[in-house]
């Protein structure tokens, strides 16, 4: 799951998340935070809860309001240090209590604390994610960033800079397995290692399709041939009543299928093109990076941290 359930996300949870993003450099002084509405959608949280979290951040001096209802990150003044220390103490006591209840040994807890202390002041590991579609690149990069806790910058394949120079600041470069060979060729540098990520329809989307009543007439619409093929195979795994499929660029065929099918199955970025069509029902299929792929990226991040620790130790 990429975000907590709406009924479990408290204002304190959101506040802690925003502060962790500020600490990681994802939001810098002067940067605007997402709107309350956008943050609520992102986290699956109640809008009022997100608003309360922002009000608490303003009260404590971490952010301020500006023209246009924007919330801006501020440079925390020295006078905030006592309050910060008090809140850190509260968070630590809560964390220690949780660790004790969960049975985490003191030695392991100390090792964990030492590890995170070593990360303070260390340059943030940046991750590049490359995809063929700008909207999808932005969406997946944002989800990866939330899950991994490190900045993930999106790039579009067709506009990709060539060679190593542009990617020197990215120790980890990722793309979907489908585009792995294209990205490697585009970079034109065999020494740059690109990590291929498994990218597939989300569990929620699969369940929604599988639960459709037998005999329901279905049509499939996507923005490109590859995604259309993936969606067709998915739908045909559970149903035998597909009346047709097409790309969104064929507006006439989209209109015909929208009128003929009981349910239109559309990739998330294709929904924009079919929203105005007179479909009885539209199921939007979203894609996600598989957890195993994200776990591998985490391992790579951990290895980089270990290497940097050794380099620091040898330099002392």
Q: Which of 151-155, 182-186, 238-242 is most confident?
A: 238-242
What is the average per-residue pLDDT within 161-176? 80
DSSP-assigned beta bridge partners for residue 130? 155, 175
Taken in order of first residue, the domains within the chain and their CATH numbers are 11-110 (1.10.10.10), 127-200+290-315 (3.40.50), 203-285 (3.40.50.980)
The region of weakest confidence among 190-194, 231-235, 260-264 is 190-194
Tokens for 179? 């585009």
H or E, element range at 274: helix 271-274
Q: How many CB atoms lie within 10 A of CB 254?
A: 23
The pLDDT > 90 percentage for the chain reads 22
Report residue 214's pLDDT band, with 50, 70 and 90 as the boundaries: very high
- The CA-CA-CA angle for residues 177, 268, 270, to 5°, reads 100
For 81-133, how does the pLDDT look when each residue is reduced to its tens digit (9 = 90+)?
Answer: 676 677 778 878 888 888 888 888 888 788 778 766 766 655 578 899 999 87
Where helices occur in the chain by DSSP H, the ranges are 11-23, 36-43, 47-59, 81-102, 106-119, 134-148, 180-187, 203-210, 225-238, 251-260, 271-274, 291-315
pLDDT tier at 246 (50, 70, 90 boundaries)?
Answer: very high
- The yes-or-no verdict on residue 6 having pLDDT over 50 is no
Measured from the Cβ of residue 218, the count of other Cβ atoms closer than 10 Å reads: 24
Q: What is the pTM of this model?
A: 0.57
What are the pLDDT digits (tens) for 275-293? 655 667 889 898 888 888 9
Quote the tokens at residue 291: 């957890």
Cβ-contact 42, 24 below 8 angstroms? no
């Amino acid at each position: 799951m990429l975000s907590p359930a709406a009924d479990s996300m408290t204002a304190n949870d959101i506040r802690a998340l925003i502060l962790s993003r500020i600490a990681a450099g994802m939001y810098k002084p002067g940067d605007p935070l997402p709107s309350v509405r956008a943050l609520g959608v992102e986290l699956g949280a109640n809008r009022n809860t997100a608003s309360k979290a922002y009000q608490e951040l303003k009260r404590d001096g971490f952010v301020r309001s500006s023209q246009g209802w924007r919330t801006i990150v501020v440079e925390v003044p020295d006078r905030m240090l006592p309050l910060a220390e008090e809140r850190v103490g509260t968070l630590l006591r809560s964390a220690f209590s949780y660790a004790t209840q969960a049975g985490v040994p003191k030695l392991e807890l100390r090792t964990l604390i030492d590890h995170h202390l070593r990360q303070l002041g260390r340059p943030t590991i940046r991750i590049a994610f490359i995809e063929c579609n700008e909207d999808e690149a932005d969406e997946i990069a944002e989800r990866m960033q939330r899950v991994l806790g490190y900045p993930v910058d999106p790039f579009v394949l067709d506009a990709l800079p060539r060679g190593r120079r542009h990617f020197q600041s990215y120790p980890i470069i990722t793309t979907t397995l489908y585009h792995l060979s294209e990205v490697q060729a585009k970079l034109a540098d065999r020494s740059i290692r690109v990590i291929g990520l498994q990218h597939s329809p989300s569990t929620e989307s699969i369940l929604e399709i599988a639960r459709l009543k037998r005999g329901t007439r279905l049509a499939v619409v996507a923005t490109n041939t590859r995604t259309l093929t993936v969606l067709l195979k998915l739908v045909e795994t559970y149903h035998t009543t597909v009346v047709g499929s097409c790309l969104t660029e064929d507006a006439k065929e989209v209109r015909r299928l929208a009128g003929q099918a009981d349910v239109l199955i559309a990739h998330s970025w294709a929904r924009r093109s079919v929203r105005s069509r007179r479909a009885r029902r539209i199921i939007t299929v979203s894609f996600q990076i598989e957890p195993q792929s994200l776990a591998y990226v985490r391992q790579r991040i951990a290895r980089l941290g270990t290497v940097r620790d050794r380099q620091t130790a040898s330099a002392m």
